[in-house]
Amino acid sequence: MPDLALSSAATALQIRRASRAGVLTGHTSGLAAAHVQANLAILPAAQAADFQRFCDLNPQACPLLAVTSPGDTAVPALGADLDLRSDVPRYRVWRDGELVDEPNDVGRWWRDDLVTFAIGCSFSFEHALLAEGIALRHVEQGRNVAMYRSAIPTRAAGPFHGPTVVSMRPLRAADAIRAVQITSRLPQVHGAPLHIGDPSLIGIHDLARPDYGDAIELRPDELPVFWACGVTPQAAIATARLPFCITHAPGHMLVTDLLNRELLGH
Amino acid sequence: MPDLALSSAATALQIRRASRAGVLTGHTSGLAAAHVQANLAILPAAQAADFQRFCDLNPQACPLLAVTSPGDTAVPALGADLDLRSDVPRYRVWRDGELVDEPNDVGRWWRDDLVTFAIGCSFSFEHALLAEGIALRHVEQGRNVAMYRSAIPTRAAGPFHGPTVVSMRPLRAADAIRAVQITSRLPQVHGAPLHIGDPSLIGIHDLARPDYGDAIELRPDELPVFWACGVTPQAAIATARLPFCITHAPGHMLVTDLLNRELLGH
């Protein structure tokens, strides 16, 4: 019998508790669909100020939803009864830039100097696009979105630098225009597109070979529309080869109590 | 000595009085630049209800700023001391769809059954784009914007029907995205673009041969961005071959007391 608690209609707290209990270990796409999901970057306080500056300098790629004090395991602004050590279905633990563990719980890795950055995620703006009747092919096809390392540089801060990673969704022009309108109202989850049209103008030479995610067909009557992507901070963290850090595993997000419609202000 | 009253810094009333006195007979582009300019369509009451419906059905092409009662020669909502018979520098008078006069004053043609429609004009959104630092090539080159009869049909009302006429401005993608954001906030002056990219998708097969205005170069790193254009209602009126009507001459607009920044709500 399927666990009805782990559905699009679940509450955010049900999803977090299922992660905490080890019942949910898969990705969170489509779960508790009304709720904002967040990318996590958990860094030692020694690197936190630089990373905060990196996010502030690159707000479209790294829109901050919340930042904790060192050692905090709760984030009341994002949810009641929320434990950062266990409420994500799968984490990644890094030492000197190398992946050393991929646990469902990071209690054994936790440190009192860890600062957590919760960063907005495109699931929220995709929810808004779908709610406005704009079809998204990768969603229809059950694939991951196509992502590329673009030639658009981020603005560096301390050890954090690198390319802006962009996600691409193929849209017909009228939908691309509406998508600009809708996502412009959602700066906390990447905001408006960075680029529309010719991929080579932003250093992408083969749409069929994304750097992350799945290739998605572009039809002759469509424009490729590119948004800044939450993989950008992950790539910058990897480049920085920090002595220690924790991130969520791709697609395994923190489900917050925030509602997507609250981001739209209605 | 140039008439300093007829400049970008002039008041709307100075421009209207100069038209009324026959001092200003040329186009109004760039004059009283802070002010909203309007397309005029002046029709007998017998056709006015159909034309109002045509505008309501096609608001991006025909955004109504004001509609008078039959016979009104003033429009307090658009300006104090405003006379619709004389305050446009040049009019066109039509009988059975044929141009019969191009006077600077339509007092001798005026009738008590004439209803005036004031329709928003792209000068206002161009002003907003320029104010945000988006360069417009046709403005830089002192040319008229390129306009095309697209394959996007208008929604018909009574005798009024025909293609949506669109204006095209070449923009790089980042500026095209900002232009969508800016013009989306200006529904009274055509609002957001109708199309971006491949012209053939909206039935335009040669950008170098516009149906109205001047051809404008499209560079390899640019997208053509298409907006609904105030020539659409003029084309629909011509197609309808009304027994009688009056319009402004192209580029010779009614300068109103409304401020462009008021349209933006700030």
**Selection from A215, A192, A79, A66 nearest residue A128 by Cα:** A192
Give the count of beta carbons closer than 10 Å to the beta carbon of residue B75: 21
Would the pLDDT of A31 be above 90?
Answer: no
Kindly list the residues of chain B whose beta carbon comes within 8 Å of any beta carbon in chain A. 173-174, 176-177, 180-181, 184, 192-198, 201, 221, 223
d(C-alpha B239, C-alpha B97), whole Å: 7
Question: Considering only CB atoms, which chain B residues are within 8 Å of A180?
Answer: 177, 180-181, 184
A242: its two tokens:
């920090």
**Where are the CATH 3.40.1640.10 domain residues in chain A?**
12-121+241-261
Q: What is the pLDDT of residues B93-146, one digit of tens each?
A: 999 989 999 999 999 999 999 999 999 998 888 989 999 999 999 988 888 889
**Region of residue B63 (phi > 0: left; psi between -120 and 50: alpha; otherwise: beta):** beta
d(C-alpha A178, C-alpha A266), whole Å: 18
Question: Considering only CB atoms, which chain A residues are within 8 Å of B180?
Answer: 177, 180-181, 184
Would the pLDDT of A142 be above 90?
Answer: no
B262: its two tokens:
């008021």
Average pLDDT, chain B: 93
Please state, in angstroms and as integers, the Cα–Cα distance from residue B254 to each residue in A85, A152, B231, following that order: 66, 45, 15
Q: What is the ipTM of this complex?
A: 0.83
* CATH 3.40.1640.10 given to domain A12-121+241-261: yes
- pLDDT-based confidence at A143, cuts 50/70/90? confident
CA distance A181 to chain B (A): 6
The label of the residue with tokens 């109202």 reads A185
Beta bridge partners of residue A119, listed in sequence order:
A39, A64
Contact criterion met (CB < 8 Å) for A194 and B180: no
Phi, psi torsion values for A173, nearest 5 degrees: -55, -45
Return the SS3 of A227: strand
d(C-alpha B213, C-alpha B166), whole Å: 11
pLDDT at B153: 96
**Where are the CATH 3.30.2040.10 domain residues in chain A?**
123-233
pLDDT at A3: 54
pLDDT at A2: 44
Q: What is the pLDDT of residues A173-186, one digit of tens each?
A: 999 999 999 999 99
pLDDT, mean of residues B65-77:
96
- pLDDT-based confidence at B265, cuts 50/70/90? low
Q: Which residue in the set A181, A195, A223 is minimally distant from B184, CB to CB?
A: A181
pLDDT at A123: 86
Residues in chain A: 266
- pLDDT-based confidence at A1, cuts 50/70/90? very low
B61: its two tokens:
């092409």
CA distance A209 to chain B (A): 22
Torsion of CA A251, A256, A259, A264, to 10 degrees: -70
pLDDT at B261: 84
pLDDT, mean of residues A88-102:
94
Beta bridge partners of residue B38, listed in sequence order:
B120, B254
Which CATH number does B123-233 carry? 3.30.2040.10
Phi, psi torsion values for B171, nearest 5 degrees: -140, 145
Listed in sequence order, the residues at least 6 apart from A201 whose beta carbon sits closer than 8 Å to its beta carbon are A195, B173, B221
